[in-house]
């Protein structure tokens, strides 16, 4: 059947009715136009595959001018991340198109300074739903649908579709979890097949391992990393680069052991040890010449040069390490024991403060235990307060008390989503004398429903993907503090909510000093509030933390920190 060695698998597949090369190649797809970097994990999860992948993307984009597109492949059977508990999985990151996804997508957006779409995120649930839908429609031509070739084929097709839509020079593929996870086995098999089909000059494998350093031993151990590598190679995947994550720098001896077991040269075994400054990692990777190795492996040639933003990035790295001022910002929520629940807020504070020659220290306030009697103790050392998004009744009274104290004591305040709603309730109760003011989410029978469910949400019963999600335009009222901060009449914010300000109470709130400075086009839906008499009292129905990026910090975060610095200075 095969006439010459150059005949591709696709050509073979087209010659026979029954074949094993189910791949459904996208129309117009050209092999080699997009290169693939596959990042896999071993030993344990949570050691920084997402951070490494995004930092590598930053380096390839800014230092070499390549068009980079990332994608996260998740093994769980949820269709998306929308219904995941923050205690178990950290924050739900929302893309502009409304996709609810893993927090790693937030890292990608921030580090690459670009917005992503649903095509940059895939769960097993979404993958299998696609397959079942196709099977029900008869698109597999009566064949028994199997993991090979159908599941792996759909996976490869998903990547190739993204390559074409993004016009990427390099597609960065991060596979969640570890090499030994059952739910990831077909992902790894698909990547093995991808290299076979695309050619080894078009696919580079990077394996991230962890080098243990038990305190009881006082030395580093690589055996677990070696076993992880052997497992990966037993699946037919030969890594090209091994990234050793560790608490402290690893020895040359450890590198040599990893080199021997993985069949790769010692210079391609690199180490990234723990650091507080994630923004310098792309520069460290360049110093290790990872970019040079990947360009060689993938035969990427031509005039590659850095873009202007690379100098901005270097400047940011220097600013992060040399900040001279500090402020204390409180985050009042109910998921404070799991800091990943507020990852985007933490990162927004972290990458915005250096532009003001500052560093932000965070005080976590678990609001379930806050009341009128102890709120001063929790708040008096703060230079600023953030009340973030959330759902449910628990901790609401404590949040109200924190906001009241911030408003009455002129402490800079920023409310985000649920924080917007709580700020309205607090103001209605304590300034407008609407003592029973509440949200129908918290008390369905409240006599003063200042916060009520969005009209389009009233008939919705399900949870997954049913909220007001994604990017929406917000019109800014001229002459307000908000207009001065943003400097424009229209912005775009990212939303994730069901409840909203009850329009019946807008007049009474504004009569008592609250100004609604941002609103939805063609609808009387208020999106931004401010209290002009306060030094900085703002709340937004959207999540500005989701759009704040290191090279483009969120304006409200910038002004919150600036006001916090002023507040701290005023106390001296």
Q: Are 424 and 506 in contact (CB under 8 A)?
A: no
Catalytic residue, candidates 55, 402, 417, 452:
417
CATH 3.40.50.880 domain span(s) along the chain: 323-570
H/E element holding 236?
A: none
CA–CA separation, 63 and 311 (whole Å): 9
- Assign 215 a pLDDT band (cuts: 50, 70, 90): confident
Q: Are 254 and 229 in contact (CB under 8 A)?
A: no
* pLDDT 10s digits, 262-302: 999 999 999 999 988 899 999 999 999 999 999 999 999 86
Task: Name the residue with tokens 């401010």.
Answer: 530
Read off the pLDDT of each residue in 341-367 and give the average, rounded to a whole number.
95
CA angle (86 as vertex; 84, 89 as ends), nearest 5: 70
User: Cα–Cα distances in Å, from 508 out to 408, 503, 511?
Assistant: 19, 10, 5
CA–CA separation, 310 and 34 (whole Å): 23
Name the fold adopted by 323-570.
Answer: Rossmann fold (3.40.50)
Residues 6+ apart with CB under 8 A from 149: 20, 21, 22, 23
β-partners of residue 330 are 363, 385
Read off the pLDDT of each residue in 58-67 and give the average, rounded to a whole number.
95
CATH 3.40.50.300 domain span(s) along the chain: 27-312
* pLDDT 10s digits, 84-115: 877 677 789 999 999 999 999 999 999 999 99
pTM of the shown model? 0.91
CA–CA separation, 101 and 123 (whole Å): 9
Catalytic residue, candidates 64, 472, 534, 543:
543
Name the fold adopted by 27-312.
Answer: Rossmann fold (3.40.50)
Q: In 3-state terms, what secondary structure has residue 572?
A: coil
What pLDDT shows up at residue 393? 80
CA dihedral angle for residue 147, residue 148, residue 152, residue 153, rounded to 10 degrees: -120
User: Cα–Cα distances in Å, from 203 out to 35, 176, 185?
Assistant: 6, 18, 18
- Structure letter (DSSP) for residue 445: T
> Would you say residue 193 has pLDDT above 90?
yes
- Structure letter (DSSP) for residue 82: T
* pLDDT 10s digits, 12-23: 445 445 566 666
Closest to 527 measured CA to CA, from 536, 516, 537: 516
Q: Are 562 and 568 in contact (CB under 8 A)?
A: no
In percent, the amount of the chain with pLDDT more than 70 equals 93
Read off the pLDDT of each residue in 235-253 and give the average, rounded to a whole number.
96
What pLDDT shows up at residue 15? 45
* pLDDT 10s digits, 444-459: 999 999 999 876 554 4
User: Cα–Cα distances in Å, from 191 out to 68, 69, 205, 222, 235?
Assistant: 18, 17, 9, 25, 10
* pLDDT 10s digits, 147-172: 998 999 999 999 999 999 999 999 99
What pLDDT shows up at residue 438? 95
Average pLDDT taken over every residue of the chain = 91
Read off the pLDDT of each residue in 319-343 and give the average, rounded to a whole number.
87
Read off the pLDDT of each residue in 81-86 and give the average, rounded to a whole number.
81
* pLDDT 10s digits, 484-518: 999 999 999 999 988 899 999 999 999 999 999 99
The pair of structure tokens assigned to 565 is 């610095």
Q: Are 451 and 426 in contact (CB under 8 A)?
A: no
Radius of gyration of the chain (CA): 26
> Would you say residue 9 has pLDDT above 60?
no
417 noted as active-site residue? yes
543 noted as active-site residue? yes
In percent, the amount of the chain with pLDDT more than 90 equals 77
> Would you say residue 202 has pLDDT above 60?
yes
CA–CA separation, 402 and 497 (whole Å): 22
- Assign 24 a pLDDT band (cuts: 50, 70, 90): low
φ and ψ of 540, to 5 deg: -125, 145
* pLDDT 10s digits, 30-46: 999 999 999 999 888 88
Read off the pLDDT of each residue in 37-65 and give the average, rounded to a whole number.
93
Read off the pLDDT of each residue in 230-250 and give the average, rounded to a whole number.
96
Q: Are 501 and 439 in contact (CB under 8 A)?
A: no
More confident residue, 503 or 83: 503
The pair of structure tokens assigned to 116 is 């992503």
351 noted as active-site residue? no
What pLDDT shows up at residue 187? 97
Peptide bond into 59 cis (omega under 30): no
Catalytic residue, candidates 74, 154, 401, 545:
545
> Would you say residue 552 has pLDDT above 70?
yes
């Amino acid at each position: 059947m095969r006439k010459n060695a150059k005949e591709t698998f696709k050509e073979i597949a087209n010659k026979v009715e029954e074949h094993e090369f189910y791949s459904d190649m996208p129309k117009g797809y050209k092999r080699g136009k997009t290169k693939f970097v596959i990042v896999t994990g071993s030993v344990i999860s949570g050691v920084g595959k997402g951070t490494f992948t995004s930092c590598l993307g930053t380096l390839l984009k800014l230092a070499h001018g390549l068009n980079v597109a990332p994608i996260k492949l998740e093994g769980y059977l949820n269709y998306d991340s929308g219904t995941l508990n923050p205690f178990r999985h950290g924050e739900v990151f929302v893309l502009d198109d409304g996709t609810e996804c893993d927090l790693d997508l937030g890292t990608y957006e921030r580090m690459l300074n670009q917005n992503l779409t649903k095509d940059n995120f895939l769960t097993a649930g979404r993958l299998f739903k696609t397959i079942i839908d196709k099977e029900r429609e008869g698109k597999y031509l009566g064949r028994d649908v199997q993991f090979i070739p159908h599941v792996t084929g759909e996976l490869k097709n998903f990547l190739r579709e993204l390559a074409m839509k993004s016009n990427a020079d390099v597609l960065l593929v991060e596979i969640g979890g570890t090499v030994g996870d059952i739910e990831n086995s077909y992902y790894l098999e698909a990547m093995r097949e991808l290299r076979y089909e695309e050619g080894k000059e078009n696919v580079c494998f990077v394996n991230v391992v962890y080098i243990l350093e038990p305190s009881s031993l006082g030395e580093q151990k690589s055996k677990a990393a070696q076993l992880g590598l052997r497992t990966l190679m037993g699946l037919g995947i030969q890594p090209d680069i091994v990234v050793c994550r560790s608490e402290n720098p690893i020895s040359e001896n450890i590198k040599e052991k990893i080199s021997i077991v993985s069949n790769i040269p010692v210079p391609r075994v690199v180490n990234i040890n723990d650091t507080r400054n994630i923004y310098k990692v792309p520069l460290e990777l360049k110093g290790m010449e990872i970019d040079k190795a990947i360009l060689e492996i993938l035969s990427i040639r031509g005039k590659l040069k850095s873009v202007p933003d690379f100098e901005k990035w270097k400047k940011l790295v220097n600013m992060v390490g040399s900040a001279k001022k500090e402020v204390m910002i409180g985050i009042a929520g109910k998921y404070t024991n799991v800091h990943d629940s507020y990852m985007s807020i933490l990162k927004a504070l972290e990458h915005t403060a250096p532009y003001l020659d500052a560093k932000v220290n965070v005080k976590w306030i678990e609001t379930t235990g806050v009341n009128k009697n102890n709120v001063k103790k929790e708040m008096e050392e703060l230079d600023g307060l953030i009340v973030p998004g959330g759902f449910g009744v628990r901790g609401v009274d404590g949040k109200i008390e924190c906001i009241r104290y911030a408003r009455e004591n002129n402490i800079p305040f920023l409310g985000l989503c649920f924080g917007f709603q709580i700020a309205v309730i607090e103001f209605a109760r304590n300034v407008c004398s609407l003592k029973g003011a509440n949200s129908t989410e918290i008390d369905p029978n409240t006599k003063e429903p200042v916060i009520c469910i969005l009209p389009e949400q009233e008939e919705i019963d399900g949870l997954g993907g049913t909220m007001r999600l994604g990017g929406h335009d917000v019109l800014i009222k001229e002459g307000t503090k908000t207009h001065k901060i943003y400097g424009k009449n229209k912005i775009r914010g990212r939303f994730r909510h069901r409840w909203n300000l009850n329009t019946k109470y807008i007049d009474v709130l504004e009569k008592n000093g609250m100004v609604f400075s941002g609103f939805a086009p063609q609808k009387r839906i208020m999106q931004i509030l401010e209290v002009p008499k306060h030094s900085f009292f703002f709340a937004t129905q959207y999540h500005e933390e989701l759009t704040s990026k290191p090279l483009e910090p969120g304006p409200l975060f910038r002004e919150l920190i600036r006001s916090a610095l002023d507040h701290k200075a005023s106390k001296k």
